[in-house]
Structure 1
Amino acid sequence: MAPRFALYAAPPANHPLHGFAARWLGWDAESGESHDAQPAAGLPAERIAAITAEPRRYGLHGTLKPPFRLRHGCDEGMLIVALEQFAAAHAPVRLPPLQVAVLGSFIALRPSLPCPDIDALAGACVQAFDALRAPSSETELARRRSAGLTARQDANLIQWGYPYVFEDFRLHFTLTGRIEDAAERAAVLAHLTAQTAPLLRRGLDVEDICLFVQMQSDGPFRVAGRYRLTG
């Protein structure tokens, strides 16, 4: 299978959130280091491993343009040139303070206030790189639709390969997969809120666009490059 690429916002390796999330999720997308799950929130290590299994493959990230394969005739070099040009034309974004929040049945870090600048940056990413994206397969479309989409989200899926763009975009840094039990979800939320509180005193600037790559369909994503926003 051809590799998949994604454009993400991700804390730099020297930000305290990076190290915490690498240990919590069990995967450091920057270094390629794995970490064993530890007991937390009154749950055994095995349960922590289970609820972090889905986000573990990606490492801590906020999606700007979701995973895609390159269109026929395009290569990674073309993508990198486009990234360099994009980064030179767009300014860094200062995010509002982050907070741990529940989204549906999973837990993520979210900006505590609206941030039009990050919304605009994500929208620009979706549009600027779409000419390089291979069309979504029927399997990928069906998987996205299984979540239950609005008409607008389905139109986004068809046009852009992802339903949650533009008006439906919500920046988030995923910390768990779905946790259906409300009591368990509340315990994990309280644990993550307490653990991240001192780390979030340092704000987070989106200073670069991170190129993540997944070389195998069942493999993890790695950071392949950071492209400084200097516009």
Structure 2
Amino acid sequence: MKQERTIIGSMLLLQIILWLGFLVHRSPAFPGSLAGVIIAILAALLMTIPAFIYSATKHFPSFKEKITKYFSLGKMLSWHVYTSIIGAIFAIIHTGHRFESNLGIWLTVTMMLSVLSGFVGRYFLSYSSTEIKEKQAELNLLATEYNQLLKVVGQPVSESVNIANPPINSLAGTKITESGNNSFLGVRAVQLTESIADLEYAIKTQQLLKRRTLGWLTVHIVSSIAFYVLLILHIWSAIHFGLRFLK
């Protein structure tokens, strides 16, 4: 998952860089050229077919039963993620940075919003969940050690210190006294308290970020639907008004 997140994150960064290319580059003739149209067709196929197959597999049990005999749902989701980001990169190239019509502008906006929200849902939330689980496990270990330490400190000195083999003071290289041992345990208790407080704060922060990004699915669905509607209109307008390379 970590390697996949790095790859997709790099591709998403590439898409954003390509989109920002309109600041230094414009090619009005490229979108309607033969090369531009071929790239547009590839982009549309990559962004629609895997997405529709994954959606149908996820929501229709009969179709899911047939398709999952050959491909797992997780594998299909990975294909959907990869093909969508590659298709989006092709789509940006297809534009030639010719952002002149409202339809083209909104098509690009909804496409990038759909890809970005999908990335957040697929990787950021799963990363947050993993981080919370790991920090919670570490917190449980520290809490257990802290509770055991309190029990030892609360015992009589003769019970809390092994007189036959007392601990070594690593700084002075001598045997520490019983009172010194209690002092050492007290310092360790303070350290554990600080570590526990830091972990609890980190967990609360991760949980807050996770709650605030839970709306990613709604954003992803709405932006994706808007993108597909605009894509159909874009294809229709391209065919209706004619392709430049055919003239």
Q: TM-score, normalised by structure 1?
A: 0.22
Q: TM-score, normalised by structure 2?
A: 0.21
**Which has more helix, going by share of residues?**
2
**Considering only CA atoms, is the larger Rg found in Structure 1 or Structure 2?**
2
**Which has more strand, going by share of residues?**
1
